[in-house]
Amino acid sequence: MHIDDIHNPVLAARLQHRIDRKTKPLGALGRLETLALQLGLILGSETPQLREAQVLVCAGDHGLAARGVSAYPSDVTWQMVENFLAGGAAVSVLARQHGLALTVVDCGVRHDFAPRPGLLSRKLGPGTADSAQGPAMSAAQCEQAIANGRAIVAQLPGNAVLLGEMGIGNTSAASLLLAALTGHPLADCVGAGTGLDEAGMARKRALLAQVLERHAGARAPLEALAAFGGFEIATLVGAVLQAAAERRVIVVDGFISSAAVLVATRLAPQVTQRCVFSHRSDECGHGLMLRHLGPDPQTPARALLDMGLRLGEGSGAVLAWPLLQSACAILAEMASFESAGVSDKDS
């Protein structure tokens, strides 16, 4: 799939000049400056404006979860979807705080939700199949989930999406995708998820090693995605691809959302140019994942925040949102040495 290169050297030079002429020592706004440059390039403007940003939380259940790979039971997935919609989850509170619209997508949760505003149903089944026994989803389901993610984003207003997920067991799927697509040893890709103890971690590692081995032939991006799941990750892959194709700003949450970006970059490498990685998750493997998500193979992606978060559901993306707003405000409103009559260092 082709997604164009957003790097425009003329605009990049203009943006850098604009940033450098602001009333501050050169480079003194640190990574806010890099962020401003990136947002300017994505939105194609020296004064980019974020409009009608949308939080999209994709939810799905995982067959593998029945094998004890999570500290919490699968029912938490549907219960948390109810909590998102009732406004009581972390992401609900933070989205409300920042005035961001929140949409939850049922990509395949084992529960019948009453239809209501803020909930989209794109159910592909009552959760993925157990990847220890066969592929988590069929190739057709995988394709459908990606198409769903694309169609959902295509219908959203605005020019920025903040992507999160919910799915008990989905750190297992994300770890398997990381190992399968990068070739890193599985042990470096597996973490405690919702908080497994040492015995739980030993069980998770042993099981995931078997699952990885069982699907040893699935190393191409779509094959790996179908083998390991889940429906919510595949839907996010579609969301990322569509948002990138439309040059929306993509604010990526934690480990699982990043796994969706990893799959998407294997289909269209320029995707990462549009991605802002909101935070470095405490989940073991996220640092490694970020190394594969930089703007080019030599440069690792750097997340904005490092606060020990490991929640998912888009909470980290929403927490980082004011930094993106600040980067745009600096470009638009901060005075330059010339406009404010401040002496520069060489004058």
Ligand X SMILES: O=C(O)c1ccc[n+]([C@@H]2O[C@H](COP(=O)([O-])O)[C@@H](O)[C@H]2O)c1
- Which residues are marked as active site? 313
Smallest gap from Cβ 124 to ligand DMD, in A, equals 20
**131-165 residues labelled b (16+ CB within 10 A) or e (exposed):** bbeebbbeeebbbbbbebbbebbeebeebbbbbbb
Q: Within positions 177 to 216, which residues make up the interface with ligand X, using CB under 6 A?
A: 193-194
When CB distances are held under 5 to 8 angstroms depending on the partner's kind, the choice from ligand X, ligand DMD, none that residue 254 binds is ligand X
Kindly state whether residue 166 participates in binding ligand DMD, applying the rule CB under 6 A.
yes
Q: For tokens 């990043």, what's the residue?
A: 258
Is position 171 an interface residue for ligand X (rule: CB under 6 A)?
Answer: yes
Alpha helices by DSSP H, 215-336? 221-228, 231-245, 255-267, 286-291, 315-333
Which partner in ligand X, ligand DMD, none is near 283 (CB below 5 to 8 A by kind)? ligand X
Q: Residue 16: phi, psi to the nearest 5?
A: -65, -40
Q: Which residues, in sequence order, are CB contacts of 164 under 8 Å at separation 6+?
A: 55, 56, 57, 58, 91, 253, 257, 312, 313, 314, 315, 317, 318
- HEC sequence for 23-78: CCCCCCCHHHHHHHHHHHHHHCCCCCCCCCCEEEEEEECCHHHHHCCCCCCCHHHH
Q: How far is the CB of 291 from ligand X (least distance, A)?
A: 16
Per-residue x/- track, 49-78, ligand DMD (CB under 6 A): -----------------------x---x--
Q: Is residue 317 a contact residue for ligand DMD (CB under 6 A)?
A: no
Give the amino acid at 49.
Answer: Q
User: Toward ligand DMD, which CB reaches closer, 194 or 258?
Assistant: 194
- The verdict on 170 binding ligand X (CB under 6 A) reads yes
Q: Residue 218 interacts with ligand DMD (CB under 6 A)?
A: no
What 3-state DSSP class applies to 313? coil
Confirm or reject binding of residue 106 to ligand DMD (CB under 6 A). Answer: no
Rounded least distance, CB 72 to ligand X, Å: 6
Region near ligand DMD per CB under 6 A, out of 24-32, 112-120, 144-152, 311-319 = 311-319
Shortest approach of ligand X to residue 303 CB, angstroms? Answer: 11
Binding site for ligand X (CB under 6 A): 70-72, 165-172, 193-194, 253-256, 281, 283, 286, 310-313
